Homo-oligomer: A and B are copies of this chain.
């Protein structure tokens, strides 16, 4: 994690550093991101960078925390408030917000892909593992709550169902982000409802 003095910088400066680094890490991965080019792009010197961060891995860890804050839905999530009546609408609203965040921070989608090709550096692997374990647990809680309510099928290994859903969801996110401008908000909303209906049919107990 960044040295304490990092907090002394302007909030804008801190944000610019973390966002720029996040975009670069998301696009090129940890090893693929050049620290030299990054700080040159930011207009800060090497000495300054190492004054605020221990090393490249330290910057990455800080960015991971930043990414997690963006990934999480706003406000606390009260699973107990989900009941048989509102489970599907509440889930749909969560996904709608997630899609909005994905559009506002397109690098987050790139970040999620880092887990598949982790670098050798063990600190980085651990930071990614922790991040994605949290994300997976969050998704799994939503699914399990649906199973408790009888809304979601429980005849498949939950990891399998979760994999299918997350895979489809990430692909859908990508498609919506890529085509949002062309389609306009209304068409996106209409298609999003269709897509959510597909997700719901994936999750519900199969007919027959």
Pair A164/B195 contact, Cβ less than 8 Å: yes
Stretch of A10-18, A23-31, A45-53, A141-149 with 4 or more beta carbons under 8 angstroms from chain B? A23-31
Q: Size of chain A's interface in residues, with CB distance under 8 A?
A: 37
How far apart are A25's CB and chain B's nearest CB, in angstroms?
11
What residues on B are CB-neighbors of A168 within 8 Å?
164-165, 167-168, 171, 202
Chain A residues packing against B (C-beta within 8 Å): 27-29, 31-32, 110, 113, 116-117, 119, 155-157, 159-160, 163-172, 174-175, 179, 191, 194-195, 197-198, 201-202, 206-207
One complex includes copies of this chain to the number of 2
The CA of A119 and the CA of B31, in the complex, are separated in Å by: 13
The CA of A89 and the CA of B117, in the complex, are separated in Å by: 34
Indicate which residue in B32, B156, B160 contacts A31 across the interface (CB closer than 8 Å). Answer: B32
Closest to A32 in B: B31
Closest to A119 in B: B32
A-B contact pairs, 19 of them (CB 8 A): A28-B31, A31-B32, A32-B117, A113-B116, A113-B117, A156-B194, A159-B179, A160-B172, A160-B195, A163-B171, A163-B174, A165-B168, A166-B171, A167-B167, A167-B170, A168-B168, A168-B202, A201-B201, A202-B202
Closest 3 CB pairs of A and B: A167-B171, A168-B168, A163-B175
Closest to A31 in B: B32
Known: A117-B28, A117-B113, A191-B157. A163 touches B167 (CB 8 A): no
